[in-house]
Structure 1
Amino acid sequence: MARVLLFGPLRDLAGWRDRRIEAGSIEALRAAIADEDAELARALAGPGVQVAVDQQVVRRDVALSTGSEVAFLPPMSGG
């Protein structure tokens, strides 16, 4: 079971910041979230949203293990 963290407007949209969700990969995790909340799933797939697994940004589907921490990071701006 992965620990899922949401930040900023993603957290506000979901109404939660931290949950445990059963999933074996990032894509399976996205599918599990989509089953519960289609609007959140669309936001997580939006431009600029980054995914970090165990505090490392990933750009592709990766396997998750029990205890993995997955953070969805909203688009950043600034200079």
Structure 2
Amino acid sequence: MALTVSYFAWVRERMGVSEEVIEPPAGVTTMADLVGWLAARDARGALAFAEPARIRGAIDGVMAAPDAALGREIALFPPVTGG
């Protein structure tokens, strides 16, 4: 299944793109699986996802836990802080 993955903040800078359409292997079914696969895919992914516990994500516009099943649109970003 093709996924549209958007990257934000320093994740985008390290990945070198703001968005891409990817087709992960069949075994990639959760957010954690996706982050692990992206980290292993190439050097940019290894840099962006070296600390997976720091990555936050959303699936189809809704914040998602690492064990959440994937949807069509994925957003990956660092923790958000505000003031």
- 8 Å contact 2:3–2:22 — kept in the other structure? yes
Instruction: Give identity over the alignment, percent.
Output: 27
Q: Which residue, out of 16, 25, 28, partners 2:33?
A: 28
Superposition RMSD in Å: 1.8
Structure 2 runs not aligned, ≥5 long: none
Instruction: Give the TM-score normalised by structure 2.
Output: 0.73
Decide which of 37, 41, 56 is 2:62's aligned counterpart: 56
Alignment gaps of 5+ in structure 1: none
Report the TM-score when normalising by structure 1.
Answer: 0.76
How many residues align? The count is 75
Higher relative contact order (CA closer than 8 Å, sequence separation 6+): 1
Name the SS of the counterpart of 1:64 in structure 2.
coil
Mapped pair 1:69 → 2:77: no
Could you say which residue in structure 2 is the equivalent of 1:11? 12
